[in-house]
């Protein structure tokens, strides 16, 4: 158990300490992402401690300093923004701690920042929506500002409204709360009352927690003329998409567990002294409910129905595969 890990240039101790510092941990994307991080660290023999800043950026910054003071080997950052984090992250780097971030705008030299190619995520889902509406219709958009991935998705949303002038936004709302899906459901119920049948054709939900809430409200109201186009996917989301009469038609997504695993592999490559990039965008895929079978599927089965879906070959070193 205490045997060191052999890497390309020597060995790494097995008991690597990893701090995973999250802006928030809301919903199934976050839980599947944490599973991916934990599983990959444990496969190398290390330990993970998760810090959840409950959407408080100054708390998040002080967690980075806490982990630095404790002398962890690796800090993984999930969400957050450079204006709050760049200084504590620099203090960590100056102490020799390896830092890999996901979904933020950090640019400190030495940090690898991963994202899901949010432009592509948004465009894939929106393009499917535009084609299904044949370029004309009324939509409700669910979005929240202040998060790097959301701001990027919104850049594409602005372009989409220009590209398809026949598509009109009739309402827009959204907030990140501890009960995002439930709160979205209540807000969507109010929107459905305000816009009776025939006045909404589709919902564009830029987070799966939003898509879940909107889909439940639409289904309960029996408004089967409205389709939901989402972003993200988890096992729970797949179940919802596969329910009979589900309004959730399409989603654009990566596998959140794989995002966590890639982030860990980059950190271990840094520990092993290997070269790592400053940025890495994971390619998303479009998942249309129509390609799913009648029986229930999980994220692990999806590769059978969505071409190229599955574990990525990003950030693998030979020693990680045991072939070095």
Site for ligand SR1 in 212-231 (CB under 6 A): 231
Q: Which two tokens stand for residue 35?
A: 């599973």
Q: Enumerate residues 103-142 that contact ligand SR1 by CB under 6 A.
A: 103, 116
Residue nearest to ligand SR1 (CB): 207
Rounded to whole angstroms, the Cα distance separating 15 from 3 reads 9
Smallest gap from Cβ 232 to ligand SR1, in A, equals 5
CA angle 285, 54, 120 (to 5 degrees): 20
Assess contact for 319 and 5: CB atoms under 8 A: yes
Q: What sections of the chain are H helices per DSSP?
A: 27-43, 57-70, 82-94, 118-132, 148-163, 180-194, 208-220, 235-242, 256-271
Q: What distance lies between CA 280 and its chain's CA centroid?
A: 14
Q: How far is the CB of 17 from ligand SR1 (least distance, A)?
A: 25
Asked if residue 29 binds ligand SR1 (CB under 6 A), the reply is yes
Binding mask 158-197 for ligand SR1 (x = CB under 6 A): ------------------x---------------------
Q: Which of 117, 232, 237, 255 binds ligand SR1 (CB under 6 A)?
A: 232
**Shortest Å, Cβ 151 to ligand SR1:** 10
Among 36, 149, 260, 284, binds ligand SR1 (CB under 6 A): 149
Distance separating alpha carbons of residues 160 and 165, to the nearest angstrom:
9
Report the interface residues with ligand SR1, using CB under 6 A. 29, 103, 116, 144, 147, 149-150, 176, 207, 231-232
């Amino acid at each position: 158990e205490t045997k060191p890990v052999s890497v390309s240039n020597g060995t790494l101790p097995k008991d690597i300490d990893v701090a995973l510092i999250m802006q928030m941990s809301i919903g199934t994307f976050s839980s599947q992402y944490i599973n991916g991080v934990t599983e990959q660290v444990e496969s190398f023999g290390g330990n993970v401690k998760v810090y959840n800043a409950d959407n408080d950026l100054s708390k998040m910054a002080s967690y980075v300093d806490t982990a630095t003071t404790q002398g962890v080997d690796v800090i993984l950052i999930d969400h957050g923004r450079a204006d709050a984090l760049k200084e504590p992250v620099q203090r960590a780097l100056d102490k020799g701690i390896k830092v890999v971030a996901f979904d933020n705008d950090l640019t400190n030299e030495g940090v690898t920042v991963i994202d899901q190619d949010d432009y592509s995520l948004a465009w894939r889902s929106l393009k499917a929506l535009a084609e299904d509406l044949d370029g004309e219709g009324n939509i409700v958009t669910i979005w929240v500002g202040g998060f790097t991935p959301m701001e990027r998705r919104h850049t594409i949303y602005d372009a989409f409204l220009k590209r398809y002038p026949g598509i009109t936004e009739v309402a827009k709302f959204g907030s990140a709360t501890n009960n995002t899906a439930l709160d979205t459901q209540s807000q969507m119920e109010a929107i459905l009352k305000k816009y009776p049948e025939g006045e909404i054709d589709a919902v564009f939900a830029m987070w799966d927690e939003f898509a879940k809430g909107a889909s439940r409200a639409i289904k309960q109201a029996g408004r089967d003329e409205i389709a939901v186009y989402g972003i993200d996917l988890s096992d729970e989301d797949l179940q919802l998409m596969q329910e009979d009469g589900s309004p959730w038609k399409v989603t654009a997504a990566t596998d959140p567990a794989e995002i966590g695993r890639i982030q860990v592999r980059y950190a271990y490559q840094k520990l092993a002294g290997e070269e790592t990039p400053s940025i890495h965008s994971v390619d998303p895929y479009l998942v249309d409910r129509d390609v799913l079978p009648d029986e229930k599927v999980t994220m692990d089965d999806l590769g059978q129905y969505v071409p190229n879906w599955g574990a990525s070959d990003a950030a693998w070193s030979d020693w990680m595969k045991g072939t070095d």
